[in-house]
Structure 1
Amino acid sequence: MYEPIRSGRPTAGASSGIPHRSREEELDIQLAGHLSALLAVTDELRGLEPSPDLDEAAERLAEQVSRLRSGHAPVRTPAPVAAGSDPAALHERAHALAGRALVVAASRADTTVAILAAERMDAHAAVRAKQRKLSHAG
């Protein structure tokens, strides 16, 4: 019913039996998660607004997720285009996810992913600016 009282602290060389990951491994997991989420949003945008830029971005994102996951490719299922999907909201979400990926990539000094994330942030910011300009002009 109660947890037994533990006597003493583990010694310096003793293993507690709990698996521990290094900071680098934790950052890899976190970065792969952000990139996977960005890839999912990118695939959804590709369904709404097909473009070579989004196709290339999706492939580059998938490559990096695979690299971070020791060769395990991300699971990608074609996202059905939902009625009433808002491309502006998807671009905003993609921009935020790319920003999170950029922060983690910078902290683990992954230049390749940092550049990719910054490029995606710029691309989504440009689309958002264009959409705002069109909505104010119309």
Structure 2
Amino acid sequence: MYEPIRAKSVHSTVAGAPSFPHRSREDELDIQLAGHLSALLATTDELRALDPSDGLDTAAEQLAAQVARLRSGQAPVRVPATGSTPEPCRMALHRRAHALAGRALVVAASRADTAVAILAAERMDAHAAALGPRELASR
């Protein structure tokens, strides 16, 4: 009915035994937040390529700075938009950016990162304004 375990556990924590690396909850939240901000930065860069503005330039710089901070100084990869791809819908980009900023806000609040929470809330407001109340409500 019961057979004793004959092999050593692969999860052994005995000194000298190989173990797999563990990350803390804070490290996991940093990784998740950096991912959301990177996606928001990519969407912001797409919007900047379609309709350049000082506001989007400033937002992109702030997002890049926060991603670099979360990644221990490693700057995010930014691909310049080229004309070879079909032009995406501005409203779809604003909806995507609004959703990404919302996700970033939730994670920033969870890790008590006030600077990122404020930036994410500002981006949500900017994209909500670009969408208009009717477009945002239809989601």
Aligned equivalent of 2:3: none
Q: Are positions 1:120 and 2:123 aligned together?
A: yes
How far apart, CA to CA, are the structure 1 residues paired with 2:94 and 2:11? Answer: 51
Q: 1:46 to 1:92 in 2, by over 3 A?
A: same
1:97 to 90, 96, 100: 100
* Aligned-partner residue type, residue 40 of structure 1: A
1:59-98 matched pairs, under 5 angstroms: 59-81=61-83, 82-98=85-101
After TM superposition, the runs of 4+ consecutive aligned structure 1 residues lying more than 4 A away are 11-16
Unaligned stretches of 5+ in structure 1? 133-138
Aligned equivalent of 1:6: 8
Q: 1:59 to 1:11 in 2, by over 3 A?
A: closer
Counting aligned pairs with the same residue, the percent is: 67
Q: 1:15 to 1:61 in 2, by over 3 A?
A: farther
Q: Superposition RMSD on alpha carbons, in Å?
A: 2.3
TM-score w.r.t. length of structure 2: 0.84
Unaligned stretches of 5+ in structure 2? 1-5
> Is the CA contact 2:12–2:19 (under 8 Å) kept in the aligned structure 1?
no
Q: 1:6 to 1:119 in 2, by over 3 A?
A: same
Give CA deviations for 1:83-106 in whole Å, capped at 9, x if unaligned: 241000000000000000000000
